[in-house]
Amino acid sequence: MLAQSLFPDAMSNITLKNIAEEKCHLRDRLLIRRNQLFAADASEALARNFFSKVEMREGAAVAGYWPIRGEIDSRPLMGLLHCRGYRCGLCVVKNRGEPLVFRSWHPSMKLVSGPFGTSVPPLGATNLVPEFILVPLLAFDDAGYRLGYGGGFYDMSLSSLRAKTKPPIAVGLAYEGQAISSVPHDSLDERLDWVITEAGARRIDREQL
């Protein structure tokens, strides 16, 4: 069950014509809300919940993100994944309108500045084909839809990778307070397989919802 929605009527009377407008309207409020949810121990609790529920094969490749703009901190989880022998990488924006690329990462790596205020592995880092992708977000719902910043990079990436023989598992990382009753979405929005917060782990059945 979701926590009580911050915006319970987000999808009331919404049509395809105004979905983009509704998303834009929500982003401003949700950015403010996410900054208010910061808790110093949330990322450690999230990491514990991840390992308690998500099954991974030994040495699986996992792509994460370097947190910006109040995103829940993925670094404790990424550090533990590396220590436990998983192959880790970070997402990199290459060009607008193109899927993300994923470059290998380890905790001692010196990162460089990337687009939109991100920190990314340098050009010489090996590309990674992820089996799991850790996804930041502004909001999520019970159906596994997420609201991002509007660039479409994760949706394009997931769509492209899911068309392959072994599609990756998309794991949204968030604060529990980022749950809303229904995220505005259209046919280009890719759904998550899991949402992990400091309060627990939700597995999304994308076949049934």
pTM of the model: 0.90
pLDDT of residue 206: 75
Give tens-digit pLDDT for 166-179. Answer: 999 999 999 999 99
Asked if 202 and 194 count as a contact pair (C-beta separation under 8 A), the reply is: yes
Give CA separation, 208 vs 9, 188, 204, 205, in Å: 23, 19, 9, 6
How far apart CA 61 and CA 104 sit, in angstroms, is: 9
How far apart CA 100 and CA 151 sit, in angstroms, is: 11
pLDDT of residue 56: 97
Which whole number is the average pLDDT over 176-198?
A: 96
Give tens-digit pLDDT for 96-105. Answer: 889 999 999 9
Which whole number is the average pLDDT over 123-144?
A: 97
> What class has domain 16-203?
alpha beta
Beta pairing partners, 175: none
Pairing of strands 139-140, 146-147: antiparallel
Q: Amino acid letter at 101?
A: V
Give tens-digit pLDDT for 57-78. Answer: 999 999 999 999 999 999 999 9
List Cβ<8 Å contacts ≥24 apart for 13-17.
14/184, 16/186
Element (H, E) at 169: strand 169-173
